Amino acid sequence: MQQWQTLLTDGNDCFDNENWLQAEYCYKEAAFHLDTLWSADSKNIQLLMAWICALHNLASLFEAQDNPDLSLQYLLIPHDKMLSISIAPEECEDLKLIAANALKITFSPILMFSKRYPMCPKCTKSLKKFKDNLDQDSSNLH
């Protein structure tokens, strides 16, 4: 098992046992390793999905500790990164497509989060616009 996989597993065990600091450490270390690995192999979807998972685990961790602001930040990190890659003119088309598909995975937890916690009007408007664009893109494919 690779180091990042062990860290995620250990983090999940710590999370289940409410050992918050150790879970945070494991998730952050896993995210760091995955970010480094994915930077070297940007078309590796397994590494990308694991990186998103590590950050979403951090979001769940902070939500469990009643810190929704920090939780939202960890939901937005992968979403914002995928959004910037998907529209970056200098990125190759394969990577843009991977990022565009990953946006569907990063957006859903943000949308669910917005139903549990109040968000500012600007964020609410931005979420609605993004959802409408995502829905429109999906209907254009059919």
For residue 91, the domain's CATH number is 1.25.40
List helix spans (H) across the chain: 3-16, 20-40, 45-64, 68-87, 93-116, 121-141
pLDDT, tens only, 78-88: 999 999 998 88
pLDDT at 124 over 90: no
Q: What is the DSSP letter of 110?
A: H
Our measurement of the distance from residue 68's CA atom to the centroid of its chain's CA atoms, rounded to an integer in Å, reads: 15
CA-nearest of 20, 99, 124, 5 to 67 is 20
In the numeric block, which tokens belong to residue 117? 């916690």
**Total number of domains constituting the chain:** 1
Owning domain of residue 101? 3-141
Alpha-carbon gap, residue 49 to 110, rounded angstroms: 16
pLDDT, tens only, 21-60: 999 999 999 999 999 999 999 999 999 999 999 999 999 9
Secondary structure of residue 50 in the 3-state scheme:
helix
